């Protein structure tokens, strides 16, 4: 009886874990709609996806155990066959690292130069107080996991890709306080095409789903724009990630596992 009850508890624990992962994943995508372009149906780089998968596996194993206890050991072992086969199949299909463009030797050198110059010039901004002192102001609520600080003077100074005049800084709110995770270059004109720095290695991006007030404040994302706000194309932007990122040093987003690591360990 105790073992049967234990099997039921395992099934419930697995199902509850999967539901928790689903809720977490929904909250992540609500906050960062563009993450969908990086993800496979089961993305091992997403802790929420991993929680969903682990919960399903635990519930399935608990169910197989219950079958073995209540019917026969043979049926219980047979019930494990599709579980083991599915886990192996998922592992072979999903756990490859995301494919990234390699580029030519010249493109790699150009990407390295931009990253190194940006990392060097933003070293002092590891302190968010230094950023504020130099004119950077929070563009989105400081309670968000990722907070963009923009420098209004640099947004309209005519400089493009100038490491000494980076338009935006990105901070992650962590258990240890704000941590600088990226710098972001931005063009001034939404209609201007971005310059080619290093081909696909430095992929620019822009948004058309952000809700702006008439004063330029971001207050949400489409299709749930608050009354009085509207969506517009932003100018092209280029992230330079200063922390490890499986999506790439210049990707539009930070992969969730590294984001979680920064949030916990700083």
Task: Say if pTM beats, i.e. exceeds, 0.75.
Answer: no
Predicted pLDDT at 167: 94
Helix 47-70 and helix 2-31: axis angle, to 10°?
Answer: 160
Q: Is the pLDDT of residue 92 over 80?
A: no
Q: Per-residue pLDDT tens for 223-262?
A: 778 888 877 788 899 999 999 988 889 998 888 878 888 8
pLDDT of residue 22: 84
- pLDDT averaged over the chain? 83
Q: Hey, is 127 helix, strand or coil?
A: coil
Contacts of 110 (CB under 8 A, 6+ apart): 197, 198, 201, 202
The domain limits of the chain are 2-94, 105-265
Beta bridge partners of 178: 173
- At 26 the pLDDT is 81
Q: Are 232 and 212 in contact (CB under 8 A)?
A: yes
| Residue 186, pLDDT score | 92
Confidence of residue 100 (pLDDT cuts 50, 70, 90): low
Cβ proximity of 131 and 169 under 8 Å? yes
Flag whether pLDDT at 142 surpasses 60. Answer: yes
Predicted local confidence at residue 96, as pLDDT: 55
Residue 133 pLDDT greater than 70, yes or no: yes
pLDDT computed for residue 13 by the predictor? 82
At 164 the pLDDT is 95
Share of the chain above pLDDT 90, in %: 32
């Amino acid at each position: 009886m105790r073992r049967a009850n234990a099997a039921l508890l395992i099934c419930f624990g697995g199902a509850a874990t999967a539901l928790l992962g689903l809720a977490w994943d929904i909250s992540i995508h609500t906050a960062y709609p563009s993450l969908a372009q990086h993800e496979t149906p089961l993305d091992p780089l997403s802790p929420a996806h991993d929680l969903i998968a682990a919960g399903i596996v635990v519930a399935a194993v608990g169910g197989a155990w219950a079958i073995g206890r209540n019917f026969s050991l043979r049926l219980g072992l047979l019930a494990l066959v599709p579980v083991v086969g599915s886990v192996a199949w998922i592992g072979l299909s999903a756990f490859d690292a995301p494919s990234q463009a390699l580029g030519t030797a010249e493109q790699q050198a150009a990407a390295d130069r931009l990253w190194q110059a940006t990392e060097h010039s933003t070293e002092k901004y590891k302190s968010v107080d230094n950023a504020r002192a130099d004119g950077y102001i929070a563009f989105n609520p400081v309670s968000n996991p990722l907070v963009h600080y923009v420098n209004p003077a640099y947004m309209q100074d005519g400089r493009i890709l100038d490491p000494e005049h980076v338009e935006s800084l990105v901070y992650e709110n962590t258990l240890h306080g704000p941590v600088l995770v990226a710098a972001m270059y931005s063009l001034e004109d939404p209609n201007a095409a971005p310059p080619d720095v290093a081909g696909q290695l430095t992929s620019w991006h822009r948004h058309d789903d952000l809700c702006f007030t008439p004063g330029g404040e971001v207050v949400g994302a489409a299709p749930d724009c608050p009354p009085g706000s509207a969506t517009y194309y932003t100018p092209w932007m280029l992230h330079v990630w200063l922390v490890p990122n499986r999506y790439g040093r210049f990707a539009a987003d930070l992969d969730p596992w590294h984001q979680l690591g920064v949030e916990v360990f700083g």
